Structure 1
């Protein structure tokens, strides 16, 4: 089950931000990471990750870590995305003259 995990953290400097990204990227199942928000203090992790374990690891290094939300992402079937509408806008009508 692929998830989008949003974590609010107190990240004061660029060094703290890079540490947070590095710690989160080392977790098994992470497919993407992003820092969002005006102060770049919201960490968004996407993948098959245990949110509780991720927050626990981040709390060891950072004092203020809050789990904001966990959303399940729908995985699109490749067959549905690759189907095209093959209808011809001007069908060749056969009529007897």
Structure 2
């Protein structure tokens, strides 16, 4: 089992484009045995300490294997709407972990 934590930073004013991308991408996860365990939209008040820009959303996902994640990332349908991701996400930070 692998776990992925993604911090997502959105371009100003592009929130609705990001939501459109997510509305299409999230349902594909289950086809590759993936789960979106948490989808968090934190506020400034929920951070105790920070030194850099705050993320718009934090996603915590799981996949049984790297292969499942790679298959999800390479899904042809997902690639058809990647332009929405590129138009809305300024940057993202992905942390990979494994179950101990």
Which band: TM-score by shorter chain? Answer: 0.3 to 0.5
Pick the structure with greater CA Rg. Answer: 1
The TM-score, its normalising length taken from structure 1, stands at 0.47
The TM-score, its normalising length taken from structure 2, stands at 0.46
Question: Relative contact order (alpha carbons < 8 A, sep ≥ 6): 1 or 2 greater?
Answer: 2
Which is richer in helix?
2
